[in-house]
Amino acid sequence: MTNVTLTPRRPVEAPGEAPPGATPDKPGRGVSRRFKSALGLLIPATLVVVWEVGALAGVISTRSLPPPSQIGQTILDLARAGDLGNHALATLGRVWWGFLLGVTVATMLGAASGVSPLFKRLFDPTLQALRSIPSIAWIPLFILWFGIFETPKVLLIAFGVFFPVYLTLEGAIANVDRKLVEVGRIYRFSTFALIRRILLPASLPTYIIGLRGGLGLGWMFVVAAEFMGASNGFGYLLIDGQMTSRPAIIIASIVLFAVCGKLSDLALATLGSRLISWQDGYSPGET
């Protein structure tokens, strides 16, 4: 009797024992991490479902607010015609060059303001005054000065990117631990070496927040820039949709703005968190 019951039990027990030893709990943790990052999609997905169902049930007027399926179709049509890539490249290119230009100038002036009280006293009030001018106010002047082609668009975006980056960098440098700066003095660093080897790395965590803020403003300014007469880009699509009374086109380009903005911010945030992995910061509940 005992022999009969023991033999079938063994092969059952063996595979049952293997998993805890052979594979710790890695797959389980991977699933939970994927689940956590998928959590951010919950609200957009719910919204899309409610919206679609609302449109199907006739609660939402599809003439003024086309359902997600129709917007998806519009984007697909644009992609199939090759227009989507064209518009995306135009807008991304403007944001990229504007961002690069704005960040470069802001980093130089922000660092100068951070290390030189004289420079700050001289330029900061003017910069702060320029900051309070609404972006749209510059458009007529920029068109007069630079025409309606790429230059004024890139400049306008750079203008928007400049301020958050400048402000955060200047503030971050002012907050760098004086004791670390003194180490640079011990080694007789030049001002430039001090900026490059101590002030900028120490400011990096805050600087990256400034860069993300700058990129966000870049995406806002690109719309304004493309409103001032563009023949391509997502901003052009917005105007085009309005002119031809096609709300699906307008919403499609809004969705495209949201997706591109989110993805570019994600890229910047990922790059940023890699650069500052040395930080001994607070991370709530990530254990």
Partner 1 sequence: MLTLSNVAKTFEDGLLALDQINLDVSAGEIVVVIGGSGCGKSTLLRVIAGLESATHGGVFVAGHPVTGPGADVGVVFQEPRLMPWLTVEENVRFGLASFSSDEAKSLANEALARVGLSQFAEALPRQLSGGMAQRAAIARALVVKPPVLLLDEPFSALDAFTRLDLQEHLLDLWGWYRPTLLVVTHDIEEALTLADRIVVMEGQPGRIAAEVAIDLARPRTRGDSTFNESRETVLAELSDARPLEALGTTGVAPTR
Compare residues 141 and 183 and give the one whose CB is closer to partner 1.
Answer: 183
* Positions in 201-230 near partner 1 (CB under 8 A): 201-202, 204
Near partner 1 by CB under 8 A: residue from 185, 259, 266, 273: 185
**Residue 209, both tokens:** 């927040």
SS (H, E, C) 59-73: CCCCCCCCCHHHHHH
**Residue 35, both tokens:** 């689940």
| 186 contacts partner 1 (rule: CB under 8 A) | yes
Q: How far is the CB of 204 from partner 1 (least distance, A)?
A: 7
Q: How far is the CB of 21 from partner 1 (least distance, A)?
A: 30
Near partner 1 by CB under 8 A: residue from 47, 183, 266, 267: 183
Compare residues 31 and 180 and give the one whose CB is closer to partner 1.
Answer: 180
Cα–Cα distances in Å, from 269 out to 109, 264, 278?
23, 9, 15
Compare residues 54 and 205 and give the one whose CB is closer to partner 1.
Answer: 205
| 239 contacts partner 1 (rule: CB under 8 A) | no
Query: How many secondary structure helices (H) and strands (E) does the chain include?
Result: 13, 0
**Residue 87, both tokens:** 């518009």
Compare residues 201 and 229 and give the one whose CB is closer to partner 1.
Answer: 201
Compare residues 229 and 272 and give the one whose CB is closer to partner 1.
Answer: 272
The label of the residue with tokens 């919206």 reads 51
SS (H, E, C) 244-275: CCCHHHHHHHHHHHHHHHHHHHHHHHHHHHHH
| 276 contacts partner 1 (rule: CB under 8 A) | yes
| 71 contacts partner 1 (rule: CB under 8 A) | no
Which amino acid does the sequence have at 260?
Answer: C
Q: Which stretch binds partner 1 (CB under 8 A): 83-91, 118-126, 186-194, 235-243?
A: 186-194
The label of the residue with tokens 């001289």 reads 122
| 167 contacts partner 1 (rule: CB under 8 A) | no
Which of 169, 158, 160, 156 is CA-nearest to residue 124?
A: 169
Please report, as ranges, the residues that interact with partner 1 according to CB under 8 A. 179-180, 182-183, 185-188, 193, 197-198, 201-202, 204, 276, 278-280
